[in-house]
Amino acid sequence: MNLHLNGKTALVTGAGRGIGLAVVQALAAEGVRVVAAARTAAPEWKAAGAIPVTVDLSDPAGAERLVTEAVAELGGIDILVNNIGGGDGDLSGGFLDVTDAQWAQVTDLNFFATVRVTRAALPALLAARGAIVNVSSIGARVPHGGPVPYTTAKAALTAFGKALAEEFGSQGVRVNTVSPGPVRTAMWESPTGYGAGLAAAMGVPHADLLAGLPAAMGMLIGRLVEPEEVATLVTYLASPLAAATTGTDHLIDGGSVKTA
C-alpha cells in the first residue's frame, strides 16, 4: 500500500532501539527523510538513511536543541513521533517502594520530555499541517499492569495527546496515540530491565516469566507484540491515508485489554 509519505520529513525520539528504531526504519522505507534521536546512535540508522542526533531529553535544553537541528537538517517537520520513554528497570516493587526521585525521573522521561519536544516542534508542524503520533502504553488504561510511576506518566501522555488534538486540530495538526501491550523490547527482555526485575521479585526465572507473559496478560495471539507491528501502525497514523483520524488512542496489545 502506498502511504503517500515519499518526500515527507519526520523526527523520531527514543529511536535507538525497539519501537523507536522500528519506526525509523518503517518511515524511511516509505521515502520519509528521518531525523532519529536518542542518547546513543544506533548502527541501524545509517542503513535506513536516517540523520542521527544524539541528545539527552532528560535535559530540559535537549528538546530545543534537537528540534533546532532537525529543522535545519530537514527544512521543516511533517511528522513527530514521540517514542521516548522507559526508566522502569528498577521499579519492580510496589507504590511504597518508590521514592520521590524515582517518580520525578520516570515522569520526566515518559511525559515531560514529550511535552518539551512537542512544544519546540509545534511551530514547524503547524507550518506543515503535520501529524504527531505519541507512543503510550496499555498501562494508561490498566495501571496495575506496570510500575505505578510509569503507568501514571503514560496516562498523562494519553490525555496530553487528546488535549493537543482538540487545540490544534482546526489548525491542521493531527495528534494520535498508539498504546502497545507487552512488546518484545528491552523493557521485558533485557537482563537489567523491568521484566528481569519483576521475575526476580516473583522468584521465577526470567525466561519463564517471558514465556508465560502473553497468557498472564490475556493476550489472544499467544506471543508478545513485535516492534515492527507497532511501527506499521504509527506509520499509517502519520500518513495522509489517516487524514480523518485525530484525537484517538489505538491499542495494539494482542487483545489484552478487554474493555471497549
Which pLDDT score is estimated for 147? 86
Which pLDDT score is estimated for 19? 98
| Known active-site residue 194 | no
Maximal CA-CA distance, the chain: 53
Which pLDDT score is estimated for 92? 66
Mapping DSSP onto H, E and C, the string for the chain reads CCCCCCCCEEEECCCCCHHHHHHHHHHHHCCCEEEEEECCCCCHHHHHCCEEEECCCCCHHHHHHHHHHHHHHHCCCCEEEECCCCCCCCCCCCHHHCCHHHHHHHHHHHHHHHHHHHHHHHHHHHHHCCEEEEECCHHHCCHHHCCHHHHHHHHHHHHHHHHHHHHHHHHCCEEEEEEECCECCHHHHCCCCHHHHHHHHHCCCHHHHHHHHHHHCCCCCCCCECHHHHHHHHHHHHCHHHCCCCCCEEEECCCCCCCC
Query: Cell 503510550, residue?
Result: 136
What pLDDT tens digit does each residue of the chain (260 aa) get? 799 999 999 999 999 999 999 999 999 999 999 999 999 999 999 999 999 999 999 999 999 999 999 999 999 999 999 999 986 666 767 889 899 999 999 999 999 999 999 999 999 999 999 999 999 999 999 987 678 999 999 999 999 999 999 999 999 999 999 999 999 988 889 898 888 888 888 899 999 999 999 999 999 999 999 999 999 999 999 999 999 999 999 999 999 999 87
Which pLDDT score is estimated for 195? 85
Which pLDDT score is estimated for 1? 78
Positive or negative: CA dihedral 89, 95, 100, 103: positive
**Cell numbers at residue 257, please?**
485489554
Which pLDDT score is estimated for 89? 61
Which pLDDT score is estimated for 87? 64
Which pLDDT score is estimated for 88? 60
Residue 233 main-chain phi, psi, to 5 deg = -65, -45
Which pLDDT score is estimated for 247? 98
Task: Give the neighbor-by-neighbor strand order of the sheet with 131-135.
Answer: 51-54, 33-38, 9-12, 79-82, 131-135, 174-180, 249-252
Domain ranges of the chain: 9-181+225-251, 185-224
List the beta bridge partners of residue 134: 82, 177
Catalytic residue among 112, 150, 160, 194: 150
Q: Which CATH architecture best describes the domain 9-181+225-251?
A: 3-Layer(aba) Sandwich (3.40)
**Cell numbers at residue 8, please?**
515527507
Which pLDDT score is estimated for 77? 98
**Cell numbers at residue 169, please?**
486540530
